[in-house]
Amino acid sequence: MKTSSVSRFVYTVLQIALLIAIWYACDRIAAWLHLPFSGGVVGLLVMVALLLAGVVRPSVVDHGAEWLLSNMLLFFIPLIVSVVQFTALLEREGVRLFAAIGIGFISVLLATALTVEWVCKFERRVRLRKLRGVRQIRQEQPA
């Protein structure tokens, strides 16, 4: 391996470790506070807050997040194994389980789509206001 690929590998591993540390800390906080949702949700909110506040730059976690997303399929292997272990449950409650999964999937899909749409509209409005402000300043300046 070349030095640049070794340093990129180490950098990616450190970013993954940072993301895992943030998740773990937020998971412990969620358990300690007895929150009705998982530490992953708390971690997501904390990361979004840190990114928006500028405390953490996206470049600090981009390689690690990219690696985690590209290998996301590996994280579903335990789920598949557990499905095989609980075939009796699936035979009894399979329709209800799949309906709940389907409703949950559609809810998340719609919430994500609406949130992305709202954020895009918000960003467009902000850019348009800035553009109008710059144009107004230019028009007010004497030639």
User: Using one digit for the tens of pLDDT, what is the confidence trace for 29-84?
Assistant: 999 999 888 888 888 888 888 888 988 888 888 888 888 888 877 777 777 777 77
Q: Which residue has the higher pLDDT, 111 or 82?
A: 111
Whether residue 85 sits in one domain with residue 24: no
Whether residue 130 sits in one domain with residue 110: yes
Q: What percentage of the chain's residues is helix, strand, coil (to nearest 5)? A: 85, 0, 15
User: Using one digit for the tens of pLDDT, what is the confidence trace for 1-14?
Assistant: 566 788 888 888 99
Are the C-beta atoms of residues 26 and 42 closer than 8 Å to each other? Answer: yes
Q: Measuring CA to CA, how many Å separate 140 from each of 128, 131, 134, 137?
A: 18, 14, 10, 5
Domain of residue 6: give its range.
Answer: 1-70
Whether residue 54 sits in one domain with residue 89: no
AA letter at 31 = A
Whether residue 16 sits in one domain with residue 38: yes
- Please tell me the pTM assigned to this model: 0.54
Number of independent structural domains in the chain? 2
Select from 20, 42, 70 the last residue of a domain.
Answer: 70
Are the C-beta atoms of residues 55 and 61 closer than 8 Å to each other? Answer: no
Q: What is the mean pLDDT of residues 104-113?
A: 90
Q: What is the mean pLDDT of residues 119-127?
A: 91
Length of the chain: 143
Whether residue 81 sits in one domain with residue 66: no
What per-residue confidence (pLDDT) applies to 1?
Answer: 56
Beta strands in 58-126 (DSSP E): none
